[in-house]
Structure 1
Amino acid sequence: MQKKAKLFFIAVIIVAIAVYGFVQMNKPVEIKTASIKKQSLIRSFKESGKIKSNDEIVITPKYNARINYIVKEGDKVSKGDLLLELNNVELSAKKKALNAQIGSLSGQREMSRVKIYDSQLKSLDIAINLAKQQVEELKDDRERYKELYDSGAVAFTDYDKINRAYDSAKKNLELKENEKRVLLDTAKEKSGTTQYYDSQKQGIDAQIQEIDNNLAYSRVYASSDAIVTKAMGKVGGFANASMQILELSPSNDIIVLCSVLSSDALALKENQKVKILQKVGEDTYEKSGKIINIAKYAKTKISSLGLEEQRVDVKIAMDDMNKIIVGADIDLIFESMHVDNVLTVAKSSVFEDEKDKYVWKLDKDTLKKTKLEIGRQSDYDYEVLSGLKEGDIIAIDANDTKVKEGLKVKIKNEE
């Protein structure tokens, strides 16, 4: 009798354990779930930018020289303020030397000319006039002697003597007139002399003009109120004419300049809103702005990792200019995609099986593996094209080890 009672007691215990195990196995598992709904699908990216002037003023020296004065980076300047003064001693000395060359050139030209004195010309003119007078007198004597010779009043020898004297006087006149022509010809400049000296002077004049142009820029003044954002020189240092020395930002037209990847730039458009994050101390303030210009070409730049990147400059106008410091770095968040009123599912709720995407959908109180067709995606969500509808309940964590096909569940916290 005791043996039967003992066996009965053992059987009751076994049945109780079996019933408890069955109940526990079929007890709903508590999991976190979410309801599928329509919302905005947003994809964004973050870049760093710099607060600058929309119309930067770049100053490059006109000539190589020592710096007598230069403003400092961060200085605020007013219109008309002196920004840069270059030493012009060397240029002034060079100009003086060139002017001396012009004087020397004029002297050389004068020295190349044969001078004719008035006394020489007057003496020749007197000799020519006397020779002409003698020719006229002998001409009259010759005609008179011819008449006498024809009448037999004088001998041929006397007539011949007058003829020879007349011819000699004519030759003497020709010699004096030729002497005057030769003297005047020697005073004339040789062919090409004028062109030579003129070209030499023009070359020197061009050098002087260039020096005058440079001297006009030995002092550079601010054309408007501005902030000095770059100053790449110091007093006593050397300014190179081929390199930028100052950069100024006019204080009335401030923007944010940002360089984005060319692939990201394709998704942007002018007048698009941009989120601006400004750090003030330990706090970060959110401002807004809009894109006012997207460059039409990309520039090759080197990333912080040393890799070449194709980047496009984007200009952003800020809505709030409070506590803005020109030259400061600032963070920007751009939206490369924004689609409203679409059915979405969190990426963390989706898992893959043989390259297809699935979620665990709640069917009454049981989980069911449900295949999805997805479309566009943001950083955290997928667009659902088919497989789910608005109001469906799914498991939030697709990687939860408790989750499996046919599992009875109890909603722990619907989000």
Structure 2
Amino acid sequence: MKGLKKKRKWIILGAAAAAVVLISIIGASMNGAEVESAVVDKGQVIKLIKESGTVEAENTVVIAAKNSGEIRKVLVEEGDRVTAGSKLMESEVTSAQMDIKSLQSDLAGLQAQYNQAKNLADKNKTLYEQGALSYEDYNASNTAAKQLSAQISSLSYTIKSYEESSGAAGVTAPINGTVTEVFIKAGETVTAGASLFEISDLSNIYVKVDLIAEDADLVQVGDPVKVYNEDAGFTDENCKVRKIHVKAQEKMSDLGINQKRVTIEIALSQSTALRLGSNLDIEISVDQRENAVRVSDKAVFELENKDYVYVVSDGKAVLREVELGLEGEDFIEVLSGLEEGDVIILSPEDEIQEGTKVKV
């Protein structure tokens, strides 16, 4: 008997719970489903292309070894300022350096011969002008001096060319700038063509960004760009696209997918000491509309290949077809179907249908 009473009690409780749920559903239906809404207004619609870019130097040179050999001493380190012609390292004595010394010895000998010949030619000129020497003798001494001068010029050029091609003169900075990378250490042996130093002109930097080809086709030189890095507290909203490279290059994405990407160069408006190689967020404005009738992108959905929104009218959801224009970052331009002041439903749930009572 006790068990029967307990069973009846559970049946009564279950029925009561079901009744509460039913009453809640009926109540919600009568009061209307609560929805998030927004008002159609007029304003700016901007289409942005977002990507990550890298700080690059306008002029960067990687210096390579011209021949094989051992590094005796590295004279600079990363961060050092150098001027064109500054010596960067010393290497072991090579056969080329020995050849250069031999040629320089020959040059010194020619210089001594030329000095003697020039002195003789000058004396003979005086004697010729005084009538004490024939023109033939004077001309012969003068010609000999000129020939030696020509040999000196030729040998000097040969030595300079040999020094540059062989690296025997040592490794020097080709430009004014900052040493941004040192690839070698003293005592190491390098082969011809190996990278030794990287020098960059940090006084003139820009941002390089690689866009997928479809996005790059939307970009034009002069488009406004916002460049920023929230972690570094850096923002430059007045940048411009300065160059769009012609060729699309195949590059691997972070997800391991090969994509055709086009390099875009962005000019900064601020003279800021950004770290070379650091990443910056990029927002390129490729199109915009001013004072456009616009709607939140959360309100628009597609149905049978047409665009729709739900408009709230007399407390009910009304399906409205819309013609869209420019699709921006948060807003979409509406060409027809909506007017300023219309109330629309954001992110409508599946339960919202034509004629559904709603509460905003």
Question: TM-score scaled by structure 1?
Answer: 0.59
Give the match's secondary structure for 1:313.
strand
Q: How far apart, CA to CA, are the structure 1 residues paired with 2:54 and 2:303?
A: 46
**2:276 corresponds to:** 326
**Alpha carbons of 1:314 and 1:74: their partners in 2 closer, same or farther (altered >3 Å)?**
farther
**Alpha carbons of 1:218 and 1:278: their partners in 2 closer, same or farther (altered >3 Å)?**
same
Contact between 1:358 and 1:370, CA under 8 Å: does it hold in 2? yes
**1:297 corresponds to:** 247
Contact between 2:96 and 2:168, CA under 8 Å: does it hold in 1? no
**Alpha carbons of 1:21 and 1:75: their partners in 2 closer, same or farther (altered >3 Å)?**
closer
**Alpha carbons of 1:87 and 1:333: their partners in 2 closer, same or farther (altered >3 Å)?**
farther
Q: 1:220 and 2:168 equivalent?
A: no
**1:65 corresponds to:** 69
Q: How far apart, CA to CA, are the structure 1 residues paired with 2:214 and 2:90?
A: 45
Letter in 2 for 1:305: L
Q: How far apart, CA to CA, are the structure 2 residues paired with 1:360 and 1:333?
A: 31
Deviation at 1:36, TM superposition (A): 1.0
Letter in 2 for 1:333: E
Letter in 1 for 2:217: L
Give the match's secondary structure for 2:35.
strand
Q: 1:251 and 2:202 equivalent?
A: yes
Gaps of 5+ in 1: 1-19, 100-205
Deviation at 1:276, TM superposition (A): 1.2
**2:188 corresponds to:** 237
**2:226 corresponds to:** 275
Contact between 1:360 and 1:369, CA under 8 Å: does it hold in 2? yes
**Alpha carbons of 1:400 and 1:284: their partners in 2 closer, same or farther (altered >3 Å)?**
farther
Letter in 2 for 1:290: K
Contact between 2:29 and 2:357, CA under 8 Å: does it hold in 1? no
Letter in 1 for 2:182: A
Give the match's secondary structure for 1:287.
strand
1:192-241 CA-partner distances (Å, limit 9, x unpaired): xxxxxxxxxxxxxx9988644424542313531x2222322222223333
Contact between 2:208 and 2:265, CA under 8 Å: does it hold in 1? yes
Candidates 336, 339, 355, aligned match of 2:286 = 336
Gaps of 5+ in 2: 1-23, 105-156
Candidates 342, 351, 355, aligned match of 1:406 = 355
Deviation at 1:82, TM superposition (A): 2.5
Give the match's secondary structure for 2:349.
coil
Candidates 81, 84, 94, aligned match of 2:86 = 81
**1:388 corresponds to:** 338
Deviation at 1:319, TM superposition (A): 2.0
**Alpha carbons of 1:347 and 1:207: their partners in 2 closer, same or farther (altered >3 Å)?**
same
Letter in 2 for 1:313: T
**1:287 corresponds to:** 236
Equivalent residues in 2 for 1:176-187, closer than 5 Å:
none
**Alpha carbons of 1:38 and 1:257: their partners in 2 closer, same or farther (altered >3 Å)?**
same
Report the structure number with the largest CA radius of gyration: 1
Deviation at 1:98, TM superposition (A): 9.9
Give the match's secondary structure for 1:376.
strand
Q: How far apart, CA to CA, are the structure 1 residues paired with 2:204 and 2:83?
A: 15
Q: How far apart, CA to CA, are the structure 2 residues paired with 1:21 and 1:327?
A: 59
**Alpha carbons of 1:75 and 1:304: their partners in 2 closer, same or farther (altered >3 Å)?**
farther
Q: How far apart, CA to CA, are the structure 2 residues paired with 1:264 and 1:257?
A: 15
Q: 1:44 and 2:34 equivalent?
A: no
Q: How far apart, CA to CA, are the structure 2 residues paired with 1:308 and 1:36?
A: 41
Q: 1:353 and 2:303 equivalent?
A: yes
Q: How far apart, CA to CA, are the structure 2 residues paired with 1:387 and 1:381?
A: 15
Deviation at 1:21, TM superposition (A): 10
Contact between 1:77 and 1:222, CA under 8 Å: does it hold in 2? no
Contact between 1:62 and 1:217, CA under 8 Å: does it hold in 2? no
Give the match's secondary structure for 1:74.
coil
More helix by proportion, 1 or 2? 1
Give the match's secondary structure for 1:327.
coil
**2:124 corresponds to:** none
Count of residues in correspondence between the two structures: 284
Contact between 1:278 and 1:287, CA under 8 Å: does it hold in 2? no
Q: How far apart, CA to CA, are the structure 2 residues paired with 1:222 and 1:279?
A: 36
Contact between 1:83 and 1:222, CA under 8 Å: does it hold in 2? no
Q: How far apart, CA to CA, are the structure 2 residues paired with 1:24 and 1:298?
A: 57
Tell me which moved more, 270-279 or 213-222.
Answer: 213-222
Deviation at 1:54, TM superposition (A): 0.9
1:141-199 CA-partner distances (Å, limit 9, x unpaired): xxxxxxxxxxxxxxxxxxxxxxxxxxxxxxxxxxxxxxxxxxxxxxxxxxxxxxxxxxx
Equivalent residues in 2 for 1:127-276, closer than 5 Å:
211-213=162-164, 214-215=166-167, 217-221=169-173, 223-224=175-176, 226-276=177-227
**Alpha carbons of 1:38 and 1:85: their partners in 2 closer, same or farther (altered >3 Å)?**
farther
Contact between 1:84 and 1:221, CA under 8 Å: does it hold in 2? no
Q: How far apart, CA to CA, are the structure 2 residues paired with 1:314 and 1:207?
A: 44
Deviation at 1:339, TM superposition (A): 2.8
Q: How far apart, CA to CA, are the structure 1 residues paired with 2:263 and 2:93?
A: 39
Deviation at 1:361, TM superposition (A): 0.9
**Alpha carbons of 1:264 and 1:85: their partners in 2 closer, same or farther (altered >3 Å)?**
farther
**2:38 corresponds to:** 34
Report the identity percentage. 27
**Alpha carbons of 1:308 and 1:54: their partners in 2 closer, same or farther (altered >3 Å)?**
same
**Alpha carbons of 1:84 and 1:256: their partners in 2 closer, same or farther (altered >3 Å)?**
farther
Deviation at 1:408, TM superposition (A): 3.6
Deviation at 1:91, TM superposition (A): 2.0
Deviation at 1:266, TM superposition (A): 1.6
Letter in 2 for 1:237: E
Deviation at 1:28, TM superposition (A): 4.6
